[in-house]
Structure 1
């Protein structure tokens, strides 16, 4: 009986931790307005193409 109570409590704690992590990721992504960093990262795959076309 006591072990079930421990597992129920652990399940509730993990749910709260998971939700908090999810909200933190959303805040980091959308609220902090890191658009310039994302734009720079999005352009990285094309950086090699620009270097290669200049050598040939």
Structure 2
């Protein structure tokens, strides 16, 4: 009986931690300051290899 309560508590804690992590990732992704970084990363497949090998 006590073990069941421990698993219920652990399940609840992990649900809250997972949700907080998800919200944190959303905030990090959609923050206005990150837009330029994502635009630069999105263009990488189309960039010349020589440009990134030499700096």
Shorter-normalised TM range: 0.7 to 0.9
Which structure's relative contact order is higher, taking Cα pairs within 8 Å and 6+ residues apart? 2
Output the TM-score relative to the length of structure 1.
0.80
- What's the C-alpha RMSD, in Å, of the aligned pairs? 1.8
Provide the C-alpha distance between the structure 1 equivalents of 2:38 and 2:32, rounded to a whole number of angstroms.
12
Judged with a 3 Å threshold, the aligned counterparts in structure 2 of structure 1 residues 50 and 24 are, in CA distance, closer, same or farther, namely: same
- Which SS does the other structure have where 1:33 is aligned? helix
- Which SS does the other structure have where 1:29 is aligned? helix
Structure 2 unmatched ranges of 5 or more: none
Provide the C-alpha distance between the structure 1 equivalents of 2:17 and 2:32, rounded to a whole number of angstroms.
21
> Highest CA radius of gyration, 1 or 2?
1
2:24 matched residue in structure 1 = 24
Q: After superposition, where does 1:1-56 map in structure 2 within 5 Å?
A: 1-48=1-48
Number of equivalences: 51
